[in-house]
Structure 1
Amino acid sequence: MATVKASAAVSHVGKIRSNNQDSGYAGRSLFLVADGMGGHAGGDVASAIATRRIAEADTDYFSALDASGALQEALISANQELAETVFEHAELTGMGTTVSAVALYGDQVVIAHIGDSRIYLMRAGELSQITTDHTFVQRLVDSGRITEEEAMVHPRRSVLMRVLGDVESSPEIDSMILDTREGDRWMICSDGLSGVASFSEIAEIMATDAGAKAAADKLVKASLDGGAPDNVTVVIVDIGEPPAPETPPVIVGSAAIPLAFGTPEPVRPRSILLAPFRLHPVQEAHFEPDSEDYYDELIEEDRRRATRRRVAWLVGSLLIVAGIVVACVLSYQWTQTRYFVGESNGRVAIFQGIQQDLGPLSLHEVYRETNIDVADLRTYDQMTVERTISATSLDEARAIIERLEASLD
């Protein structure tokens, strides 16, 4: 039977946020991460309420199936408690939270998941993402509309399609029962890690021989090194022998401090298409019900945005090209106001333009070729003509020619 060799939970507010809306729990056989949404209006409250309610499911069960049912029931109960809290505290309207939970039973793990927090498994040196994000961009990836790389920078990457909160009374929760074995390392994290650190970076840290706590600290540091624009929470569970000694559950983040329903911040105007949302360090993030109409509307909006970007790029490019052409024309016109005296076909000539060439483009031409042979000039005059003599005007060039003619006498 698989046992918990070691576990750890670490949470950090990040470098941008003023409060921690994440919560993490590492218990005896239950482990979870909750990422609250709703900004100061209740993101921390939502994740704390959900974590504390779901943590009550950290007990013994008769089977993995029994544990799975109890875990799903705990999430639904947490959802109901969130709705009741909003009913009693209207200022918390719109709050919600993601939840990703792992419960160990025998040689199996039970998983319950909703939102965009993630569960990873490191087995035999290979990292796998177990859960699927309930986000708009993940749907675009699944439908082949965009790539994983495009999803990382998509303007709608923080739009959640499913969360626990005061929106749906019976939200759809992903659940599964998987086998686990000695040597497995399970990791649960908020998008404060997965949205900053790359998959390969996470894999490298997860593959180290560092203990659960050290690995969790390194993952949090990776987010901080990447700017940590969001709260970051990591829970790690190592499976194997010897089993971890019986210790009190570890609770981190907002669930670790007393709940406080403060004065709400002023409500910001919202688009009519957008339901309650949570603030994001780079862009606004929000939750929308799992609605096909809304899904289609977002796709159409992205198409319009992409079209606007293409038009803006085209107009900008045309303006840049036009600016370059105008600059070139004006520069060429300026060169044609300059003159110099030089040699053409062995004779002294007046040239219009400047002595330099621009690649294959000549910036000068013969204005007038005189009857003075360069070979008839004095040695010094020959050398100066061959090197060219600059003139600021046509009259000055003519004066130079007159001087050279006079030197022949």
Structure 2
Amino acid sequence: MASSIKSSALSNVGKIRANNQDSGYAGNNLFVVADGMGGHAGGDVASAIAIRRIRETDKTYTSPGDAEFALQSSLIAANQLLAETVFEHQELTGMGTTVSAMMRVGNSMAIAHIGDSRIYLYRDGELSQITADHTFVQRLVDSGRITPEEAAVHPRRSVLMRVLGDVDAAPEIDTAILGTQPGDRWLICSDGLSSYLAEDRIRKALASGLDADAVGRRLVKETLDHGAPDNVTVVVVDVDESETSSAEVPTTVGSAAAPLTFEGQEGRRPLRLPTILLHPLKVATTPEDSHFEPESDEYLAELIAEDRRRAHRRRITWLVALVVAILLVAGGVFTTYRWTQDHYYVGQQDGTVVIYKGVQQSLGPIALSSVYETTTVSVTDLSNYNRQNVKDTINAGSLKDARAIVERLADASSQ
């Protein structure tokens, strides 16, 4: 008995926002929600660009691992598109988007996630939150400083620590592969739903026995009944048993379903994050245009205190490392050199993109990197954005990752 997918995607601007900065997509195998940020002139653009790039991966894959890699690559590609868009349209500086996506392959779901949109699984009467919020308060919960109950009403519960956008050239994407079975009901939603509708009400809606479209409408209606100050986007995915698996008509909702424009508000100043911050955060020109936390003395003081604690931990780590290095200097130099040779990065030499083996430092007169592989990609053929990245060097976790970066640069230069 084959299992088939029935899905629904809906998006609503809510009762307060001037425009819809959410986007959603429900296709044959791919299901995504993106929640944009950056105010009226940027959030809708960010989520639309991300969804339009990611939905290109809605294909059939031979294995869940292939689907997981395709999703992760598409999010990284979307991040680069957002950065390039900001480079060409400075009025969009500071825009970004969350993304929660899943790809169905047989009896598995490949998942990619960044931000605070969520993926839930309803199975056998139980509701489970599959993704973890990349928020400031979730970090406080994980460190034991506040409880989950306190996080739910924390004044900075919407401040993001990880997003796609023009801030981080190499964002960390959470990925996973989970099993799925007939009877499963999956929900992807923006925080416009999860922040204003209790999980018990979400569970009751998913358990109602209604079809995917009716459940989605019920969830949106209940959120609107609670005031719905934010945009609300839901994608409901049912896994059923069926002799045949008929293709669904792909559905795009929210800002990605409308024509894409880059016209910012007249006189709007580019948004720029405080230089003291180590992670991209939600920002806003005014609370009316965005659900991101506005900058304030209290907020910045808390972040500065957190940054000082991180700096203190780093100093302790370096002190311990220095003591160990002094005790083991002879063997340490050799061991350190061997360790560096397991690393790679992409840079340039004589106008050509090359892969270096090692790290971008020297140990006295000893260089800790050397050209490992010369490519055929010319630096002059790259866009201004990619050319600057290559000039500054791009770190890679492995030789495979470095070659993948070169491949993406080559593809971009040929377009």
Change (3 A) 1:39 1:29: same
Q: Match of 1:297? A: 304
Change (3 A) 1:2 1:98: farther
SS of 1:81's equivalent?
Answer: helix
Q: Equivalent residues in 2 for 1:44-123 (5 A)?
A: 44-123=44-123
Cα distance between partner residues in 1 of 2:304 and 2:237? 40
Q: Match of 2:252? A: 251
Cα distance between partner residues in 2 of 1:259 and 1:232? 20
Cα distance between partner residues in 2 of 1:38 and 1:284? 9
Change (3 A) 1:45 1:99: same
Which stretch of structure 1 is more off in the superposition, 274-283 or 44-53?
274-283
Q: Match of 1:285? A: 292
Task: Deviation per CA, 1:243-280: give whole Å up to 9, x if none.
Answer: 56323200000000000112335338988457672465
Task: Deviation per CA, 1:11-56: give whole Å up to 9, x if none.
Answer: 0000000100000000000000000000112100000000010000
Structure 1 unpaired stretches of 5+: 302-409
SS of 2:57's equivalent?
Answer: coil
User: Does the 8 Å contact 1:108/1:178 carry over to 2?
Assistant: yes
* Post-superposition offset of 1:150: 1.1
Cα distance between partner residues in 2 of 1:281 and 1:208? 34
Cα distance between partner residues in 2 of 1:240 and 1:191? 27
Change (3 A) 1:24 1:225: same
Q: Which amino acid aligns with 1:169?
A: A
Q: Which amino acid aligns with 2:304?
A: E
Task: Deviation per CA, 1:316-361: give whole Å up to 9, x if none.
Answer: xxxxxxxxxxxxxxxxxxxxxxxxxxxxxxxxxxxxxxxxxxxxxx
User: Does the 8 Å contact 2:40/2:290 carry over to 1?
Assistant: no
Change (3 A) 1:251 1:270: closer
Q: Does 1:240 align with 2:246?
A: no
Q: Match of 1:318? A: none
SS of 2:241's equivalent?
Answer: coil
SS of 1:215's equivalent?
Answer: helix
Q: Which amino acid aligns with 2:69?
A: G
* Post-superposition offset of 1:175: 0.2
TM-score by length of structure 1 reads 0.68
Q: Match of 2:318? A: none
Q: Equivalent residues in 2 for 1:89-238 (5 A)?
A: 89-238=89-238
Task: Deviation per CA, 1:271-291: give whole Å up to 9, x if none.
Answer: 845767246559862599xxx
Cα distance between partner residues in 1 of 2:149 and 2:289? 18
* Post-superposition offset of 1:158: 1.1
Cα distance between partner residues in 1 of 2:289 and 2:44? 19
Q: Match of 1:402? A: none
**What is the percentage of aligned positions where both structures have the same residue?**
61
Q: Match of 1:359? A: none
* Post-superposition offset of 1:145: 1.1
Cα distance between partner residues in 2 of 1:297 and 1:189? 31
- Structure number with larger C-alpha Rg: 1
SS of 2:79's equivalent?
Answer: helix
* Post-superposition offset of 1:222: 1.3
Q: Does 1:262 align with 2:269?
A: no
Change (3 A) 1:227 1:45: same
Cα distance between partner residues in 2 of 1:263 and 1:296? 30
Q: Which amino acid aligns with 2:145?
A: R
User: Does the 8 Å contact 2:12/2:254 carry over to 1?
Assistant: yes
Cα distance between partner residues in 2 of 1:269 and 1:249? 34
Cα distance between partner residues in 1 of 2:69 and 2:206? 30
Q: Match of 1:30? A: 30
Task: Deviation per CA, 1:367-389: give whole Å up to 9, x if none.
Answer: xxxxxxxxxxxxxxxxxxxxxxx
Change (3 A) 1:147 1:281: farther
Cα distance between partner residues in 2 of 1:252 and 1:30? 14
User: Does the 8 Å contact 1:68/1:111 carry over to 2?
Assistant: yes
* Post-superposition offset of 1:60: 1.2
Which stretch of structure 1 is more off in the superposition, 19-28 or 235-244?
235-244
Task: Deviation per CA, 1:171-213: give whole Å up to 9, x if none.
Answer: 0000000000000000000000000000111111111100000
* Post-superposition offset of 1:142: 1.2
* Post-superposition offset of 1:152: 1.5
Cα distance between partner residues in 2 of 1:264 and 1:4? 45
SS of 1:260's equivalent?
Answer: coil
Q: Match of 1:317? A: none
* Post-superposition offset of 1:295: 7.6
Cα distance between partner residues in 2 of 1:259 and 1:18? 17
Change (3 A) 1:112 1:240: same
Q: Which amino acid aligns with 1:24?
A: G
CA RMSD in angstroms comes to 2.6
User: Does the 8 Å contact 1:3/1:241 carry over to 2?
Assistant: yes
Task: Deviation per CA, 1:204-234: give whole Å up to 9, x if none.
Answer: 1111100000000011111101100100000
User: Does the 8 Å contact 1:3/1:239 carry over to 2?
Assistant: yes
User: Does the 8 Å contact 1:136/1:161 carry over to 2?
Assistant: yes
Aligned length: 297
